């Protein structure tokens, strides 16, 4: 591997940096989603929705104390601002959560784009070196020409490899963000419907909901 790396020429160094950055971000995002999965509590979420249907806001506050479930955090934001603008409060909280989930995704996107371009750049340099040597030594020293061609092929393959192997986690993380956004929207909409129904009922009938 070291020999192959050295044969690739100077462009291999920025390609190595790209691969390390992509790997670091991928590991960080994997750990992030593992933590988020551990924080999720669908049983608690269903309990919270049931308390909301009963209008027991104090019960909700007691139940969600210490919870780090991103859906519950959005719902709590709406409940806290229910007398002003529940929908806007949940929209703002959801935007913050989605922003947190998309952190460093731009870095992966950049690596997917930059790595192949660096590979092509290395290819161009390798071909230039090959033609330069061919012009200087003619066909009497073909090994010098093939060295430049090898450099061109190595950088191209490396750049494409980095982009391909970064694309899989990138798409997976994007899918997780989209899934989380749909889940937040589902429960936030349910809460708005429940609250609207409660506010339209006479005070004495709220317990019958």
Residue 208 lies in a domain: no
* Top-confidence residue, 144 or 57: 57
DSSP codes, 150-192:
HHHHHHHHHHHHHHHHHHHHHHHHHHHHHHHHHHHHHHHHHHH
Contact yes or no for 158/195 (Cβ under 8 A):
no
pLDDT at 41: 87
Q: What is the pTM of this model?
A: 0.83
Return all residues near 176 (Cβ < 8 A) that are at least 6 apart: 33, 101
How many independent structural domains does the chain possess?
A: 1
pLDDT grade for 148, boundaries at 50, 70 and 90: low
Mean pLDDT of the chain: 86
pLDDT at 30: 97
Residue 138, pLDDT above cutoff 80: no
Name the more confident of 176 and 56: 176
Within a domain: 4: no
% of the chain exceeding 90 in pLDDT: 52
pLDDT, position 177 = 96
Within a domain: residue 192? yes
150 part of a folded domain: yes
Distance CA 71, CA 85 (A): 18
Interatomic CA distance for residues 196 and 140, integer angstroms: 86
Q: Is the pLDDT of residue 4 over 80?
A: no
Under the banding of pLDDT at 50, 70 and 90, the label for residue 70 is: very high
What are the tokens at 7? 């044969």
Contact (CB, 8 A) for 112 and 163:
yes
In this structure, is residue 3 part of a structural domain? Answer: no
Q: Which domain holds residue 95?
A: 11-201
Query: Would residue 141 count as lying in a domain?
Result: yes
Is 6 within the bounds of a domain? no
For residue 136, what pLDDT is reported? Answer: 61
State the pLDDT at residue 62.
Answer: 87
Residue 141 has what pLDDT? 60
133 found inside a domain: yes
């Amino acid at each position: 591997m070291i020999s192959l790396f050295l044969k690739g020429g100077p462009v291999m160094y920025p390609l190595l940096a790209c691969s390390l950055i992509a790997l670091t971000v991928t590991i960080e995002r994997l750990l992030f989603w593992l933590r988020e999965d551990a924080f999720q509590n669908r049983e608690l979420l269903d309990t919270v929705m049931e308390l909301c249907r009963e209008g027991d806001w104090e019960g909700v506050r007691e139940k969600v104390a210490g919870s780090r479930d991103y859906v519950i955090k959005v719902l709590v934001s709406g409940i806290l601002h229910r007398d002003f603008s529940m929908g806007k409060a949940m929209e703002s909280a959801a935007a913050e959560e989605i922003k947190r989930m998309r952190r460093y995704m731009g870095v992966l996107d950049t690596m997917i784009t930059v790595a192949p371009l660096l590979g092509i750049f290395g290819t161009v340099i390798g071909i230039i070196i090959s033609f330069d040597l061919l012009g200087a030594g003619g066909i009497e020293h073909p090994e010098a020409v093939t060295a430049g061609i090898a450099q061109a092929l190595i950088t191209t393959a490396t750049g494409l490899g980095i982009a391909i192997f970064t694309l899989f986690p990138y798409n997976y993380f994007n899918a997780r963000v989209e899934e989380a956004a749909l889940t937040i929207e589902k429960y936030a909409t349910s809460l708005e419907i429940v609250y609207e129904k409660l506010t339209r009922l006479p005070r004495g009938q709220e317990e019958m909901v």
